[in-house]
Amino acid sequence: MQLSTPRANATSHKAAELVAALKIVWPNTEVVINATKPRRGSFEFTLLGIGGKETLIWSGIKKGPPRKEKFPTSEILIEAIKGVI
């Protein structure tokens, strides 16, 4: 799983919360934060599958205001991942 987030304190904190929630459901999963430079103002979550196939699970780019709509809850993110795998 790959999480793309700007390097700001608020987004880094939210990313850490989401990673902790994902590790509860999928404890042996590797989560990579910002493997590549994130898009400006983005908070995106991409599932990296076998063979390197990328599937965008969440993008907050076109969401908000308010800013909090750019970030998924852990429940929304987990359900979105379950719908793909």
All residue ranges of the chain with pLDDT < 50 are none
d(CA 72, CA 43): 9
Given a contact cutoff of 8 angstroms between Cβ atoms, the answer to whether 41 and 59 are in contact is no
Domain membership of residue 9 (yes or no) is: yes
pLDDT recorded at residue 79: 95
Whether 23 is in a domain gets the answer yes
Per-residue pLDDT at 70: 87
pLDDT given at position 16: 87
Residue 73 belongs to a domain: yes
The residue range of the domain holding 72 is: 2-80
What is the total count of domains within the chain?
A: 1
Give domain status of residue 37, yes or no: yes
What is residue 64's predicted lDDT score, i.e. its pLDDT?
A: 82
Q: Is residue 29 domain-resident?
A: yes
In a domain? residue 85? no
Count of H helices and E strands in the chain? 2, 4
pLDDT at position 4 is: 53
pTM of full prediction above 0.85: no
